[in-house]
Structure formats: C-alpha cells, structure tokens
Amino acid sequence: MAIVGLSFVAFSGRIAHAGSAYAYVSHTFGRRWGFIAGWTLLLTYLTFTGPGGEHFTVATSLIGSRTFPSYLRAMRRADLAEDPRFATAAARRANLEELHRIVQCWILTFRDIGALDAQLDEAKIALGEVRSLKQLSEMEWAEYWGAIQEVSDRNGGTYRLPGRPWHFSHEKLEPLGSPAFQGEHNRAVFSELGLSEDEIDGYVAAGALVSVSIPATASDYGRRANGTANIKQPPLPTIPS
C-alpha cells in the first residue's frame, strides 16, 4: 500500500488531474488499460448486505494489519484477534470467506443501516450504499442539485435526463433542450460538410445514413437553430454556510 501511495504522489505531481487509478493508468498506458484498472479497483472493496436488504461497499480491508483492528473495535470482538484463523494477515487472507461471514452476521443484528453506519463511524469505517441510477435520481440530493431534469420528448411526454454537471455562483445555466430524433439533422450536417442532396440521398439509399419517422405532433425544434422546449428547470441551489 505504501508503494501505491507513493506512486499516486508521483503521478499527481506530473499529471494535472484529480487523481484516480483510471486517470493515471490511462495517461500512461492508454484508455483500454485505464478502463481495466478502474474496474479492477472494485475488487479491493468489500460488499455486504445491510439490515434492510440494501447493498453497500466498504473500502477498509479485513486483511490488513492496520485496518483489521478497526473492525474488531466496531464489532466489540477483540477475541477475534486471538483466533488462529485471523491472527495474522496471511491467516485472514486464507480464511477471508469465514471472516466475511462473521462480519456479515454481525451487520444483520442492526435494526437499520443508519444504526450500523453510526457504529462503523465510531471505528472510522466508511460505507457507501450501492444504488441504481433510478434510486439515485429519486434522492433528495439529486433534486437539490438539479442532477436530473425533465425534457420534452416532443411527442406529448417527457424524458428524465442528467442535468448540468456544474453550477456557478453568478451565472444561470440554460435548461437542457429537447433531444433530437435519430437522424433528424443528417441532411443539415452533411450539407454543411459540402455533400450534395444527391450524395446524401445515395447514402440514405445504401443504409449508411439512418433516421426515424418524426411524429406529426413533434415540434419544429429540429428546424430551429436555437429552439428549446418548455421544460422543468430547478433553480440553482443555495449552499448552506
């Protein structure tokens, strides 16, 4: 772990990035290896099932000699340190499945994940609940930050799309516009690139350019350069001091 930490320090001095295994490996070996490194990092996280059936991850190792005592403090199980199966890092690695089972059984003794989180927090163990995108979009956090916005589908309904990924103190960002239909702007784009109508027709006939039928009820958004739909745009939040 010390070598990994020193490596991140060295990378942070050379690469202007917030810092992650994906970012550093991508800069060094390419995006494919960065992708693999980023997902492989998940293998270092422990996953558990909470009292209410929720799933969460814990980045604190059950094997490490510096981190294992944190679990013992949280569980009030100092006796496990004397158990031959868990007395050393090598022994814990060999019996990780059984150790994980013991921790999981202890977790299920709590009435809810809030009580569990409070107990883990005493031992400085952080947990992160694993949520689906749908669950994330329905959280108060998403509403507070405008993370999800509703936009017109131009056919009588709406879509829920990710909102703007940034906010500014003194600027109001324009709301998300209505999405275009597949292939709606093919002709306009390829005409700007210098293709003639006959050439575009040839690509359409060959199946190289694909589009869908636009409903008659759809607005003329695609024909207006700066058109936007009437959509729900949450106000910028005021961050409490």
The domains of the chain are located at: 43-129, 140-223
CATH number assigned to the domain covering 43-129: 3.30.1540.10
Task: Give per-residue burial for 62-89: e unless 16+ CB within 10 Å, then b.
Answer: bbeeebbebbeebbeeeebeeeeebeee
Cα dihedral 114/111/121/12 (nearest 10):
-60
**What phi, psi does 159 have (nearest 5°)?**
-115, 155
pLDDT band at 218 (very low <50, low <70, confident <90, very high): confident
Q: Which two tokens stand for residue 118?
A: 């409070």
Q: Which of 103, 136, 132, 141 is nearest to 120 (CA)?
A: 103
Mean pLDDT, rounded, for 31-37: 78
Between 49 and 45, the higher pLDDT residue? 49
Q: Which two tokens stand for residue 232?
A: 């729900």
Helix (H) or strand (E) holding 128: strand 127-129
pLDDT band at 5 (very low <50, low <70, confident <90, very high): low
Q: Is the model's pLDDT at 166 over the cut of 80? A: no
The least confident of 22-26, 58-62, 78-82, 86-90 is 22-26
Tell me the residue type at 215: P
Helix (H) or strand (E) holding 158: strand 158-162
Identify whether the C-beta of residue 50 lies closer than 8 Å to the C-beta of residue 116.
yes
Instruction: Give alpha helix (H) positions in 41-180.
Output: 68-75, 89-94, 96-107, 113-122, 133-137, 140-145
- Could you give the maximum distance between any two Cα atoms of the chain, in Å? 82
The least confident of 140-144, 147-151, 153-157, 164-168 is 164-168
Instruction: Report the chain's mean pLDDT, rounded to a whole number.
Output: 81
Q: Is the model's pLDDT at 239 over the cut of 50? A: no
- Tell me the range of 11-20, 134-143, 226-235 where mean pLDDT is highest: 134-143
User: What pLDDT was estimated at residue 229?
Assistant: 37
Distance CA 147, CA 166 (A): 9
pTM exceeding the 0.75 threshold for the entire prediction: no
Q: Is the model's pLDDT at 235 over the cut of 70? A: no
DSSP 31-74: HHHHHHHHHHGGGGSEEEE-TTS-EEEE-S-SS-TTTHHHHHHH
User: What pLDDT was estimated at residue 68?
Assistant: 94
Q: Which of 135, 125, 143, 106 is nearest to 236 (CA)?
A: 143
The least confident of 29-33, 40-44, 90-94 is 40-44
Q: Report pLDDT digits (tens) over 11-21.
A: 666 666 655 67
Task: Give per-residue burial for 19-30: e unless 16+ CB within 10 Å, then b.
Answer: eebbbbbbeeee
Q: Report pLDDT digits (tens) over 65-117.
A: 999 999 999 999 999 999 999 999 999 999 999 999 999 999 999 999 999 99
User: What pLDDT was estimated at residue 95?
Assistant: 96
